[in-house]
Amino acid sequence: MRIGMQLEHRRGFLEAVAELRDLERAGLGTVSVAELYSFDAVSQLGYLAAVTDHLEIASGILPIYSRTPALTAMTAAGLDYVSGGRFTLGLGVSGPQVIEGFHGVPYDAPLARTREVVEICRAVWRRETLAYEGRHYRLPLGPGEGTGLGKPLKLLNRPVRERIPVMIAAIGPRNTALAAEIAEVWEPAFFHPERAEEVFGAALAQGLARRAPELGALRVHVDAPAAIGEDVADALDQARLRLAHYIGGMGARGRNFYFDLACRYGHTEQAERIQDLYLDGRRREAAAAVPEALVRGVSLIGTCAEVADRVAAFAAAGVTTLSLSPMGRATSTPEARVRLVEQIAAMAG
């Protein structure tokens, strides 16, 4: 397994970037940048491409609704160019709360739109003249849909690669199947290796049965809260808070994909309590309601021996990249984070 990390820059972006060379020497292979409703990910990824030489970089993730498919393809080609072929395009549908609440765009047809965005991106990277007829995207616009002056075009520049890896974030059965069918990389949230086959196995098998051979084996990129030490209670509490935020607050009742995943993991009663408490503003109580089994199952938090066991479990479940989210006092300094990467990289082999 490779070791990755999502760039965490609450302490400052430039300060976080300054750590990357030491983290790379410690065994870090890839770094990703999220795009929620803060600074955009693309400008930060461009900066990372300029100040690193070997680290792979990835968007983790760009919402499909906030850019046209052609702009997404251009952006990916540009980042792959300035990084010398080190970029992975991470895509996802986000959720109605962000897409409609922040971007003001209807959250509709997420699966069909994802498929069409990926198809258009790959056509752009192959420098095909874009003449695309999809259910949701038409290139160029047809008669009566615009000025009538649009004509098929192709990308002016020749990309570094005509096959930039696509990573799709997916946890629902249908979008997991789609990721297994069309993406080079699947990124599930809150991946529990012992429950993965039960929760994701059927959807993955369905998608893999339709997968084109040229895509190769599906790679699995998993983010996991991480801390190693004899006393990591604060790290577990921080992981609980994060889980409570997603299960309880990332979407309205009936439209929260992370809530649904917790239920599929067998924690329906607890998920309902977490959501009730969180939406009522009682966030600490919501965090306390997160089941211990779920926190530990999706995390790399514990003693060195305990974390080694968890790393082995993730590997056995088919994970190819472990992306670490350092938690708690045990990872509060740059030196501690370097040591964390060294230890887990050694465990991952």
pLDDT above 70: percentage of residues in the chain: 99
Query: So what's the pLDDT on residue 212?
Result: 97
Alpha-carbon span 265 to 294, nearest angstrom = 8
pLDDT above 90: percentage of residues in the chain: 90
Query: So what's the pLDDT on residue 12?
Result: 80
Q: Is the Cβ–Cβ distance between 301 and 327 less than 8 Å? A: yes
- Reported as a single tens digit per residue, the pLDDT across 169-191 is 999 999 999 999 999 999 999 99
Half-sphere exposure of 49 (CA within 13 A, CB side): 22
Residues 136 and 209 in one domain: yes
Q: Which domain holds residue 109?
A: 2-226+308-348
- pLDDT at position 11 over 80: no
Query: So what's the pLDDT on residue 345?
Result: 98
With cut-offs at 50, 70 and 90, classify the pLDDT of residue 101: very high
Residues 170 and 248 in one domain: no
**Residue corresponding to tokens 């649904």:** 260
Peptide bond into 140 cis (omega under 30): yes
Residues 199 and 212 in one domain: yes
Number of domains composing the chain: 2
Question: Tokens in use for 50?
Answer: 């300029």
Residues 137 and 243 in one domain: no
Kindly state the average pLDDT of the residues 17-35.
95
Report the chain's C-alpha Rg in angstroms.
20
Q: pTM for the complete prediction?
A: 0.96
Residues 265 and 125 in one domain: no
CB neighbour list of residue 47: distance below 8 Å, 6 or more residues apart: 13, 17
Query: So what's the pLDDT on residue 292?
Result: 96
Residues 268 and 326 in one domain: no
Alpha-carbon span 262 to 260, nearest angstrom = 5
Query: So what's the pLDDT on residue 108?
Result: 96
Within 10 angstroms of residue 277's Cβ, the number of other Cβ atoms is: 19
Query: So what's the pLDDT on residue 9?
Result: 63
- Reported as a single tens digit per residue, the pLDDT across 193-252 is 999 999 999 999 999 999 999 999 999 999 999 999 999 999 999 999 999 999 999 988
